[in-house]
Amino acid sequence: MKPAKGNPKPRPRAGVKNEQVLAERVAAAMMARDKFSQWMGMTIVDIRPRTATVRMTVRAEMVNGFGVAHGGVVYSLADSALAFACNTHGKVTMAINNTISYPAAVHVGDVLTAIAESDGETRRLGYYRVTVKNQKDELVSAFTGTVYKTKNEHLKSADTTEKLADKSAKAAMPAPAADTKGAK
């Protein structure tokens, strides 16, 4: 982008900050309702528009009869990272096709990190890849997903992007301290 005449620097793209605020709000709302990801012990480590990083630790009850993590555990982590990433634009978006490979075994105690990133999109479809690595930075899963974007919004239409930024700033402020005078 060329700077405007007399303006020494190009201005940042309009809406970039609001896209980040929207991504954070949608991911937080989704995680608050996602009992399965919570039960699995997943945490969102980083969220940006069309990108998510999700982490979990493999527990003893997650292994199969061979003593390694069940493939469904790793798949679930990758699928959740995909869900958080592909919904950051604010439209309810769902997977319609996924594939996964398991190049290395996963063991109890492994800390797995899934990074989901957009490879491109059309008006209704999105294409994502998710890599899952262990604490040694070894690739344990390669996952690809195709998603369908519905017309449904995650957040109420009254939440304009300007209001999103305002609400996010207010939410980040600490709560006032409780009045403890006279309390025993």
The per-residue pLDDT for range 109-137, each reduced to its tens digit, is: 999 999 999 999 999 999 999 999 999 99
What is the spatial distance between Cα 89 and Cα 86, in angstroms, rounded to a whole number?
Answer: 7
**Measured at the alpha carbon of residue 65, what is the angle toward residues 69 and 139, in degrees to the nearest 5?**
25
Task: Say how many domains are in the chain.
Answer: 1
Residue 44 maps to a domain: yes
In tens, the pLDDT along 70-103 reads: 999 999 999 999 999 999 999 999 999 999 999 9
pLDDT, position 169: 43
**Mean per-residue pLDDT for 126-152?**
98
For the chain, give the mean pLDDT.
84
Q: Which domain holds residue 71?
A: 16-159
pLDDT, position 168: 45
**Mean per-residue pLDDT for 30-56?**
98
Residue 179 maps to a domain: no
Residue 167 maps to a domain: no
Confidence class for position 17, pLDDT limits 50, 70, 90: confident
Whichever domain contains 68, its CATH number is: 3.10.129.10
Residue 68 maps to a domain: yes
Burial classification of residue 131, based on how many CB atoms lie within 10 Å of its CB (0-12 exposed, 13-18 middle, 19 or more buried):
middle
Residue 153 maps to a domain: yes
Residue 181 maps to a domain: no
Is residue 147 predicted with pLDDT exceeding 90?
yes
Residue 164 maps to a domain: no
pLDDT, position 15: 53
pLDDT, position 184: 42
Residue 95 maps to a domain: yes
